[in-house]
Chain A
Amino acid sequence: MSTVRYRPEGLDNLVQQTNFSKKELQVLYRGFKNECPSGVVNEDTFKSIYSHFFPQGDSSMYAHFLFEAFDTHNNGLVSFEDFAVSLSIILRGSITDKLNWAFNLYDLNKDGCITREEMTDIMHSIYNMMGKHTYPSMRDSAPKEHVDRFFQKMDKNKDGVVTIEEFLETCQKDENIMHSMHLFDNVI
């Protein structure tokens, strides 16, 4: 039981900082506080929550990357403000904001470009969530092939890394990606 007690700033501040309405923030906070009574989420709680939604596979790696993306202050804890701000970007932000956020997720060391190793890690973590029992059965080379396809599509100048400009440009040209970015806008 952690003794950290963290209270978010006032509701009005949050309404200004994010694109959520008051009611939406209320619903969000209630769910947040229910699961994390101390007011902050640490990585283990984060992973356990996420694992509830993907029971067949191992979601801990992807949850770890997610946590890194949410933890904007890099202090190992995600407070409600971080949570709400990130969600606001994902759900209510502009398409550029969303793509930026996704890029930030993939860029593990936050140096502005995605290397092959980083992408491979991300891909492995996504495939891990599937678990063993898939159809067709999971080959070990599947993530690597997917990474190759990704780099083929994104890496325009073939320098082995994907920069933010390349990423934005390619994504904005891809219809599927554009469409799917708006898929979850109504979850709250």
Chain B
Amino acid sequence: MAAGVAAWLPFARAAAIGWMPVASTPMPIPPQDKRKAQDGLIILNVSGTKFQTWRTTLERYPDTLLGSTERDFFFHEETSEYFFDRDPDIFRHILNFYRTGKLHYPRQECISAYDEELAFFGIIPEIIGDCCYEEYKDRRRENAERLQDDEEMDMNNDVTPVNLTFREYLWRAFENPHTSTLALVFYYVTGFFIAISVMANVVETVPCGTLPNRSKEMSCGDRYALAFFCLDTACVMIFTVEYLLRLIAAPSRCKFMKSVMSVIDVVAIMPYYIGLVMTDNDQVSGAFVTLRVFRVFRIFKFSRHSAGLRILGYTLKSCASELGFLLFSLTMAIIIFATVMFYAEKGSTATKFTSIPAAFWYTIVTMTTLGYGDMVPKTIVGKVFGSICSLSGVLVIALPVPVIVSNFSRIYHQSQRAEKRRAQRKTRLARIRAAKIRGTNAYMRYKQNGLLIDALEEVAGQALVGKAASPPFESQHHHLLHCLEKTTNHEFVDEQTFQANCMEISVVNKSGSRTSSLSSSPHGLSSCCSRRHRKKSSFSLPSTNNQELSTIQIRERPVSNSRSSLNAKLDKTMPLKCDEAYISPSMVRLSAPVATSSDDTSTATTTYSQSNIVRVSAL
């Protein structure tokens, strides 16, 4: 029931007095209205913007946040108001919903922000009023399409697993020729052969001059029959191989065979095989000639190579109803005008309008403003109706065409936007990666500082270096990560260091390291590291003096001489600049066996057989 109407319920109940005298039985007892003294003003403070309304207004919809006891969670005692840390502009519309019973969708708001606010306040979007519902649904659909596009892109670009089966690899190569050079080569080769085949079909009908013993001019196809046959064979073989490969590689063969492109492929190569089968049979050679016409369908294979062609095809498919309407109205007009012209021209002598079907040709030529002139009306009545026919033809054709054009334009722009998004994606991802690296480095600096301070406190008994001036949020987060490291006996590193480790340090027992949150080429690293899997060598700790000035080695269990090395690094501490928003650093899990060897006690010179050593570069 609309909110406003609910206010009229007391009136409706009062009007029920009119039934009382005619009623013959006693009435039921009315419900007790206990909440009568509850009507008061509620102050809703949304990010500083104060809204006020009656309590009863909010309680009209008890299954939403504001109408139920859930709002008590947001009650702010000091100011005696309800505080929500949300967007006040969108909240305005939500509050209007309580007041008027109609939810509106403002055009200038982002659809996902609006959806989030609705979800927060517990309002289902289906109750958006009719005035705004269409707009809302359209925006939502666009948003969903965009998200789907992004996901597909993710699936296509990001994951390049090495362990695709041959079949999947083949399918990927066919669908996205840019993935490997072999696929690209194949793509261009097939394109080339399509072009060759189509041109051969065209050229073989051109008259090529006469042979000495023939009077009639021969076409090139007859003169160089063998050459054309060889060319055709080559093309068909390539197409057949391509089709079979695609069929093998397709994830769902039935679906593939039913798809349009596969049908085109089949139609393109079947005439050749049928021609091979029935060679010298005169009776069916007529049919065979017809079949050769289908060879021209090879030109449609270009649609795999051209996005514009695909868009055109898709447009025509989506405008099927408009095209159907065009056809239907044209047919109606043709029949009407042909009939009229036939009867108008019946009287004149030697007229070409011998029958109504014969007049169809005249009508079509006139309505499409072609005007060949092979059939013209001679009587005055015929000429009058002929001119009406040509005028109406223009109208009938002009009406559905803009619809088709606008559809094409919309689809074309959509595909352009998809292309633009793909291009922007790369820069976006690069920026995200850079931010991640900054976050990782921030964490590394924190660790250095932290360990330095720990070490110094142990040695000197007081903190010589004050805690770096990072915001409390960040330092707490870093501490949390540090605890995680301690728990798992692993450490965080950044990308370069990890790669460096892979290359330089031949570490014992690296059994398949994996990156868990890197987004680019993780498997390159894994394959690299797994190759070093078996090499065993002892890692000797360089003495303090030889240590590079720019690196600090942090070990799992600090030993005495490491502390001295850290001491030497005191003056190298850089001030922390944690100004970026914190982004989770990439974590490398080196799944080393936890076997403790006796070497790892605190001795001066040790050979570390554990693989938990990483090198971190101080910036």
Q: Which residues of A come within 8 Å of B, CB atoms?
A: 27-28, 30-32, 34-35, 49-50, 52-53, 62, 65-66, 69, 83, 87, 90-91, 98-99, 101-102, 105-106, 122-123, 126, 146, 149-150, 167, 171, 176-177, 179-181, 183-184, 186-188
A-B contacts, 21 of them at CB < 8 A, read A27-B39, A31-B4, A34-B7, A35-B4, A65-B18, A90-B15, A91-B14, A98-B17, A101-B17, A102-B17, A106-B18, A122-B22, A126-B22, A176-B23, A176-B26, A177-B23, A180-B20, A180-B26, A183-B27, A183-B30, A187-B10
Interface size band for B = 20 to 34
User: A184 touching B24 by the CB < 8 A rule?
Assistant: no
- Measured CB to CB, the closest approach of chain A to B18, in angstroms, equals 5
Instruction: Knowing that A102-B20, A171-B21 touch, tell me 16 more A-B residue pairs with CB under 8 angstroms.
Output: A49-B5, A49-B8, A52-B5, A53-B5, A53-B12, A66-B15, A90-B15, A102-B21, A106-B21, A176-B25, A176-B26, A177-B20, A177-B21, A180-B23, A186-B33, A187-B13
Q: Does B287 contact A (CB under 8 A)?
A: no
User: B8 touching A102 by the CB < 8 A rule?
Assistant: no
Q: Does B1 contact A (CB under 8 A)?
A: yes
- Measured CB to CB, the closest approach of chain B to A8, in angstroms, equals 16
Residues in A with CB closer than 8 Å to B27 are: 176, 179-180, 183
- Measured CB to CB, the closest approach of chain B to A159, in angstroms, equals 19
Give bound CA distance, A61 to B311, whole Å: 59
Nearest first, the 5 closest Cβ-Cβ pairs linking A and B are A31-B7, A187-B10, A35-B4, A34-B4, A180-B27
User: B15 touching A181 by the CB < 8 A rule?
Assistant: no
Residues in A with CB closer than 8 Å to B30 are: 183-184, 186
User: A35 touching B23 by the CB < 8 A rule?
Assistant: no
- Measured CB to CB, the closest approach of chain B to A29, in angstroms, equals 10
User: A30 touching B22 by the CB < 8 A rule?
Assistant: no
The residue from B3, B17, B19, B21 contacting A167, defined by CB atoms under 8 A apart: B21
Residues in B with CB closer than 8 Å to A183 are: 16, 20, 27, 30
Give bound CA distance, A186 to B3, whole Å: 21
- Measured CB to CB, the closest approach of chain A to B417, in angstroms, equals 40
* Closest residue of A by beta carbon distance from B23: A180
User: B16 touching A184 by the CB < 8 A rule?
Assistant: yes
Give bound CA distance, A122 to B19, whole Å: 9
Residues in B with CB closer than 8 Å to A91 are: 14
User: A87 touching B14 by the CB < 8 A rule?
Assistant: yes
Give bound CA distance, A105 to B21, whole Å: 11
Q: Does B395 contact A (CB under 8 A)?
A: no
Residues in B with CB closer than 8 Å to A102 are: 17-18, 20-21
Type the 1/0 row for B179-217, where 1 means its CB is closer than 8 Å to any CB of A. Answer: 000000000000000000000000000000000000000
Give bound CA distance, A99 to B26, whole Å: 17
Give bound CA distance, A99 to B22, whole Å: 12
User: A35 touching B20 by the CB < 8 A rule?
Assistant: no
Give bound CA distance, A7 to B19, whole Å: 32
Residues in B with CB closer than 8 Å to A171 are: 21
Give bound CA distance, A187 to B25, whole Å: 22
- Measured CB to CB, the closest approach of chain B to A50, in angstroms, equals 6
Query: Do A35 and B5 form a contact, CB below 8 Å, given A146-B22, A167-B21?
Result: yes
Q: Does B469 contact A (CB under 8 A)?
A: no
The residue from B7, B13, B22, B33 contacting A35, defined by CB atoms under 8 A apart: B7
- Measured CB to CB, the closest approach of chain B to A89, in angstroms, equals 9
Give bound CA distance, A52 to B11, whole Å: 13
Q: Does B423 contact A (CB under 8 A)?
A: no
Q: Does B2 contact A (CB under 8 A)?
A: yes
User: A184 touching B17 by the CB < 8 A rule?
Assistant: yes
User: B8 touching A35 by the CB < 8 A rule?
Assistant: yes
- Measured CB to CB, the closest approach of chain B to A142, in angstroms, equals 12
Query: Do A184 and B19 form a contact, CB below 8 Å, given A31-B4, A35-B7, A52-B5?
Result: no
* Closest residue of B by beta carbon distance from A167: B21
Residues in A with CB closer than 8 Å to B2 are: 52
- Measured CB to CB, the closest approach of chain A to B544, in angstroms, equals 83
Give bound CA distance, A30 to B3, whole Å: 12
